[in-house]
Amino acid sequence: MQRLSLSKRLSILTVLFLVLPLLATCASGTTPAATNPPSQASQPTRSSDTSSPTEATDQEQPSTGDSSPASGGDMLITSPLRTPRLEFGIVSHLYYTDRERVMQLTQNADFDWVRQQVVWKDTEGPAGHFSWDELDPIVEVVNKYNRKLLISIVQSPSFYTDDGSNGLPADPASLGNFVETLAKRYGNQIAAYEIWNEQNLAHETGGHIELSDAGHYVEILAECYKRIKAITPEAYVVVGAPSSSGVTNPSIAIADQDYYRAMYSYKDGMIKNYFDVQAAHPGGSANPPETMWPDNPSNADGWNDHETFYFRHIENVRKIMEEYGLGDRQIWITEFGWATQNNTPGYEFGNQVSMEQQAEYITGAMELAYENYPWMGVMFLWNMNFAVLWGQTDPPQPLHEQASFSILNPDWSPRPSYLAVQSLIDRIKREQGVKK
The whole-number pLDDT of residue 376 equals 98
End-to-end CA distance of the chain: 19
Local structure of 346: helix, strand or coil: coil
Contact 102, 95 (CB under 8 A): no
The whole-number pLDDT of residue 62 equals 74
Spatial separation of the C-alpha atoms in residues 303 and 293, rounded to whole Å: 11
**CA nearest neighbour of 234 among 270, 189, 194:** 189
Has residue 48 got a pLDDT over 60?
no
CB neighbours (10 Å) of residue 36?
13
Confidence class for position 394, pLDDT limits 50, 70, 90: very high
b/e burial code for range 393-403 (CB count within 10 A of at least 16 → b): beeebbbbbbb
pLDDT digits (tens, 9 = 90+) for 348-388: 999 999 999 999 999 999 999 999 999 999 999 999 999 99
The whole-number pLDDT of residue 182 equals 98
pLDDT digits (tens, 9 = 90+) for 200-214: 999 998 899 999 999
The β-bridge partners of 199 are none
Domains for the chain: give ranges and CATH numbers.
84-432 (3.20.20.80)
Percent of the chain with pLDDT over 70: 82
**Helix H segments across 113-270?**
135-144, 172-186, 213-231, 256-265
Q: Which residue type occupies 152?
A: S
Spatial separation of the C-alpha atoms in residues 269 and 260, rounded to whole Å: 11
Q: What is the mean pLDDT of residues 29-58?
A: 37
Rg of the chain over all Cα atoms, to the nearest angstrom: 21
Phi, psi (degrees; rounded to nearest 5) at 60: -60, 130
**Helix H segments across 115-255?**
135-144, 172-186, 213-231
Has residue 323 got a pLDDT over 80?
yes
What sign has the CA pseudo-torsion 177, 181, 187, 190?
Answer: negative
Spatial separation of the C-alpha atoms in residues 340 and 351, rounded to whole Å: 6
Helix, strand, coil distribution of the chain in percent, nearest 5:
40, 15, 45
Q: What is the mean pLDDT of residues 183-200?
A: 98
What sign has the CA pseudo-torsion 311, 88, 38, 358?
Answer: positive
Spatial separation of the C-alpha atoms in residues 97 and 53, rounded to whole Å: 19
**CA nearest neighbour of 206 among 173, 174, 158, 277:** 158
The whole-number pLDDT of residue 148 equals 98
The whole-number pLDDT of residue 63 equals 67
Contact 83, 62 (CB under 8 A): yes
Please state whether the peptide bond connecting residue 342 to the residue before it is cis, i.e. omega within 30 degrees of 0.
no
The β-bridge partners of 148 are 113
Has residue 52 got a pLDDT over 50?
no
Confidence class for position 392, pLDDT limits 50, 70, 90: very high
Spatial separation of the C-alpha atoms in residues 7 and 5, rounded to whole Å: 5
Confidence class for position 78, pLDDT limits 50, 70, 90: low
Confidence class for position 79, pLDDT limits 50, 70, 90: confident
Has residue 76 got a pLDDT over 60?
yes
User: Over the chain, what is the mean pLDDT?
Assistant: 88
